[in-house]
């Protein structure tokens, strides 16, 4: 079996996008350091999209827990070098996850309407109750 190149993967994603009309979603994990994408005609309510949403939530919760623990380690001037290093490694992993989640979510934000003014979007009076 032949190995697929990155160009082959991009062409497959482009074809899937054209067929479904939905752009691929950046998933919250990577394989061998490379981004993974989901192309589905089920949109944001498909099983795999919901699974990715759940994984994003788990990653962000883990990041918050790691941050809390790392702050305790870093606040203690007597923390051993190994603990400080471990905290830094875990923080960098969590930051990478959080950045991937932010990139994925940012890519799924719809383009603004033409009705956006210099000061931002305008809301109808009904929006204020």
DSSP annotation of 117: B
Under DSSP, the state recorded for 15 is: H
Rounded Cα distance between 66 and 91, Å, is 7
Tell me the domain boundaries of the chain. 7-108
Q: What dihedral do alpha carbons 35, 28, 102, 117 form, nearest 10°?
A: 90
Give the pLDDT of the chain (129 residues) as one tens digit per residue: 456 677 766 766 665 555 666 678 889 988 898 889 888 777 788 888 999 999 999 999 999 999 999 999 999 999 999 999 999 999 999 999 999 999 999 888 877 766 555 666 677 777 776
pTM for the model stands at: 0.69
């Amino acid at each position: 079996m032949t190995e697929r190149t990155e160009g082959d993967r991009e062409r497959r994603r482009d074809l899937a996008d054209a067929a479904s009309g939905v752009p691929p979603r950046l998933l919250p994990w990577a394989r061998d350091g490379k981004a993974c994408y989901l192309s589905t005609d089920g949109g944001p309510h498909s099983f795999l999209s919901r699974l990715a949403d759940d994984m994003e939530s788990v990653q962000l919760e883990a990041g918050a827990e790691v941050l809390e623990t790392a702050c305790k380690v870093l606040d203690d001037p007597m923390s051993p070098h190994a603990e400080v290093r471990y905290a830094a490694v875990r923080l960098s992993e969590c930051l990478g996850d959080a950045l991937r989640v932010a990139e994925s979510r940012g890519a799924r934000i719809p383009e603004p309407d033409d009705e956006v003014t210099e000061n931002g979007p305008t809301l109808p009076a009904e929006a204020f109750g």
